[in-house]
């Protein structure tokens, strides 16, 4: 859900979940990202996903804040 950070509005679709990301060169990005993620996997590096709830009404501030705190907790406990 777009929340005013772009000219998009409502439900939007973007490549790699980021309208500011690698949409201009998806084939090049896929090849580079594939190399990184294969290396992450073979070395056992943790790969996760952050859910900020940024698009949920009333969570625009506290969602990213809670996600940041969870990330810091994860890093501290590694």
Nearest to 50 by CA among 32, 20, 72, 33: 72
Q: What is the pLDDT of residues 8-54, one digit of tens each?
A: 666 666 666 666 666 778 888 889 989 999 999 999 998 988 888 88
Residue 28 is inside which H or E element, if any? helix 26-43
Copy the structure tokens of residue 44: 């056992």
Q: What is the pLDDT of residues 43-60, one digit of tens each?
A: 999 898 888 888 788 998
d(CA 26, CA 32): 10
47 Cβ neighbours under 8 A, 6+ residues apart = 37, 40, 41
């Amino acid at each position: 859900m777009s929340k005013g950070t772009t000219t998009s509005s409502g439900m939007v679709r973007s490549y790699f979940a980021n309208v500011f990301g690698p949409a201009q060169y998806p084939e090049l990005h896929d090849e580079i990202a594939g190399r990184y993620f294969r290396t992450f996997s073979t070395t056992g590096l943790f790969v996760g996903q952050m859910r900020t709830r940024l698009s949920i009404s009333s969570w625009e501030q506290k969602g990213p804040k809670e996600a940041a705190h969870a990330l810091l907790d994860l890093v501290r406990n590694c």
